[in-house]
Amino acid sequence: MENVLEAELTLSSSSLERGLLEPLVDRVASEALQRSLGARGTGSLSSWAVNGDRITLTLESEGGRPHQALLAMVRRLSEELGRSQKIGVRAVRALRYRVRFAAGGAPQKPISLPLPHTLAFEGETATLEFTDLPEEALRDNWVDRAVQLVVEKVKRQGYAGKEQYWSLLHPASRKEHVGTHDPTEEMLKRSWVRNGPTKGKWFLGPTAAHLFRTMERIARREVLEPLGFWEVVQPHLDSFEILQKTGHLEGLPGEFYYAAEPTTRDPAQWETFTDLVKITHRVPMEELKRLVGPPSSVLCYAQCPTIYWWLSGRTLSADSLPLKIYDRTAVSNRYESGGRHGLERVDEFHRLEPVYLGTPEQLLALREALLKRYAHVFDTVLDLEWRTAWVTPFYLQQSGGVGVEDVKERVKGTIDYEAYLPYRGDREHSEWLEFQNLSIVGDKYTKAFTIRAQKGELWSGCSGIGLERWLTTFLAQKGFNPADWPSKFREYCGELPTDVEFL
């Protein structure tokens, strides 16, 4: 048999009338197996025994897993034993649970799981066995989720090393560049920016801030406002629940900045802490750990998750679609670690994030409109050398036409905008910078957050306009002399603040 579940039930008393038990267990087991496996498979109670207040039993099945049958059986036993003998089932646990399944491939290296288990492969067939699983694991389908996780890990191993599919969409028009320097180095030299007080954060002085806000104005006036996007203002902290729904929590836990709350605001409780600060002039870390709880939320990673939360459980009228909104309030925070570089890759950055919801046709039309407006900005207002590429993580490629060669079939997926940075070397060999992107994700998030349309399918997507990246791209190509800047940009920029002179 594919699946074998050996379970132990603890009764509320050991004074059972055994004669009654035998036909009861057999009947209840076969009813429960039939009902929970239905037409999907077959199953049987292969053995059982009673010892004091414990019943041990083994259920086997093919085509479906037996734990639902076990739980149904426990419910019936409790009811019937309660009625006839005033005895209930107090607890249930799995002593051993073995499942066999097609893993979709053979693993290339060992696969780990965070619960005690053994895992063996015969070709592409996996046999996974857990010992001593609590009732919660059975009620909550942990075994099915572990099976899915093994399948996912096997698949990921197959794609290791080729993280992302990349295919050129809109090639770059070659431009001459006055910029030759790393723009962050140059801004540092001019004291326009200062490396922030904590990791990967920057302070922008008046001149850099003015250019940065000019970029924001251009994005709003040239792209978002003409296309009818409305601004929303969202909180800076994301709940764990939101990030669980989007998949970010399981996907990127090492990239978050976690936020914690004090356990109390009572000054009396903080007295030792404040006294120690006064006497030692140090941060009393042990005392701080005692007075601050574990992380209770995450600093905004991207804005769209909280926008989906705002819409969760709601139905959008046909008149509200396509819904076009954007946030520029929440600041994105990511632990980039070794990847940090200047203002291009920072731990705290500022994005305008347009989010759109509508029918698939509405979103495809909107994507065309966005592509046009962005092209206008990068060609005419900023005069950049840029290109776009169709990108998708390799392991997602099988679904939804992602990564397909036929352009017409490219419906769901992400378009990256990349810019040539002259200071990094020649066009062919240097790494271009992704300075923004644009995605349509289908119904992934509308489903996860139960957002519906008055009628028909509801899709969504978002676009990340990274202001630090727009700014560094522009300065890397156009240099620091306003006389070299395109006239449309100069109009938006107006007069630059006078540089602050530091002596």
Nearer to Zn ion, 3 or 463 (CB): 463
- Residue list 348-367, contact with ligand ATP (CB under 6 A): 349, 351
DSSP 200: T
Q: Could you say which of 362, 392, 437, 460 contacts ligand ATP (CB under 6 A)?
A: 437
Closest to Zn ion by CB, 302 vs 467, is 302
> What is the C-alpha separation between 324 and 498, in angstroms, rounded?
38
Among 202, 386, 435, 489, binds ligand ATP (CB under 6 A): 435
Is 18 one of the catalytic residues?
no
Q: 464 to 483, contacts with ligand ATP by CB under 6 A?
A: 464, 466, 468-469
| 386 makes contact with ligand ATP (CB under 6 A) | no
User: Would you call 416 a catalytic residue per the annotation?
Assistant: yes
435-474 mask for Zn ion (x: CB under 5 A)? ---------------------------x------------
Complex with ligand ATP: residue 81 or 433, whichever CB lies closer: 433
Q: Is 370 in the site for Zn ion (CB under 5 A)?
A: no
Q: From the CB of residue 464, how many other CB atoms can be counted at a distance below 10 Å?
A: 23
Nearer to ligand ATP, 383 or 468 (CB): 468
CA-wise closest residue to 463 among 257, 299, 240, 229: 229
Residues 6+ apart with CB under 8 A from 213: none
* Residue (of 233, 234, 287, 235) closest to 263 by Cα position: 287
Task: Please select the residue that binds ligand ATP; options are 303, 333, 392, 436, rule is CB under 6 A.
Answer: 436
Options 2, 3, 304, 383, the catalytic residue: 304
304 binds, among ligand ATP, Zn ion, none (CB under 5 to 8 A by kind): Zn ion
Q: Which of the 8 DSSP states describes residue 378? A: I
Whole-number Å distance between alpha carbons of 475 and 375: 18
Catalytic residue among 345, 373, 452, 490: 345
Determine if the peptide bond prior to 66 is cis (ω within 30°).
no
Residue 424 bears catalytic tag: no
Q: Does residue 304 belong to the site contacting Zn ion (CB under 5 A)? A: yes
End-to-end CA distance of the chain: 81
Question: How many Cα atoms sit within 13 Å of 39 on the Cβ side?
Answer: 0
Told to check if 287 binds ligand ATP by CB under 6 A, we report no
HSE-up (13 A, CA, CB side) for residue 210: 14
Closest to ligand ATP by CB, 100 vs 351, is 351
Q: How far is the CB of 164 from ligand ATP (least distance, A)?
A: 9
Question: Strands of 433-442's sheet, edge to edge?
Answer: 164-170, 386-393, 413-419, 433-442, 459-466, 351-358, 323-327, 230-232
Which two tokens mark 236? 């800076």
The interface partner of residue 245, options being ligand ATP, Zn ion, none and the CB cut-off 5 to 8 Å by kind, is none
**Catalytic annotation on 462?**
yes
Q: Is the Cβ of residue 252 or residue 291 nearer to ligand ATP in the bound state?
A: 252
- Which residues of this protein are in contact with Zn ion, per CB under 5 A? 302, 304, 462
